[in-house]
Amino acid sequence: SQQGEEDPQALSIQEGENATMNCSYKTSINNLQWYRQNSGRGLVHLILIRSNEREKHSGRLRVTLDTSKKSSSLLITASRAADTASYFCATVPYGGATNKLIFGTGTLLAVQP
């Protein structure tokens, strides 16, 4: 069963603009993670935010978590063509084994040069 649902499914922006994608999930979580997947490649971990955190930054990435709404957002600032990829959220359900992630269906981001 899918825990996370990303929105939008696809996003096209110009280089230099900000990109925002959202993730909603169904059950309480221990943490939420964002991954990037370039075409034809494996997933790469971007950032992890725990259930007791509300915001986290890493370089041009900003992640927020609203546990009351069961949602998270990933903001990529000053986007570059190299940011073109699919982005997935993944959750570790509360009380579940911390080694098992449940992935959403992803947002496909296209950054036009």
Partner 1 sequence: DAGITQSPRHKVTETGTPVTLRCHQTENHRYMYWYRQDPGHGLRLIHYSYGVKDTDKGEVSDGYSVSRSKTEDFLLTLESATSSQTSVYFCATTTGNQETQYFGPGTRLLVL
Nearer to partner 1 among residue 57 and residue 78 (C-beta) = 57
Hunting for tokens 């084994």 — which residue is that? Answer: 97
Q: What is the DSSP letter of 81?
A: G
CB of 17 to partner 1, least distance (A): 26
**Given 48, 61, 75, 110, the residue binding partner 1 (CB under 8 A):** 48
Binding characters for partner 1, 49-88, by CB under 8 A (x = yes): ---------------------------------------x
Q: Residue 97 Cβ, how far from partner 1 at the closest point, in Å?
A: 8
Cα torsion 103, 69, 9, 56 to 10°: value is: -70
Asked if residue 106 binds partner 1 (CB under 8 A), the reply is yes
Of 14, 45, 66, 112, which lies in the binding site for partner 1, with binding defined by CB under 8 A?
Answer: 45
Q: Rule CB under 8 A: say whether 101 interacts with partner 1.
A: yes
> The tokens 């982005």 sit on which residue?
87
Q: Residue 60 is encoded by which pair of tokens?
A: 């041009």
Q: Cβ(97)–Cβ(66) under 8 Å?
A: no
Give the whole-angstrom CA distance, residue 65 versus residue 69.
9
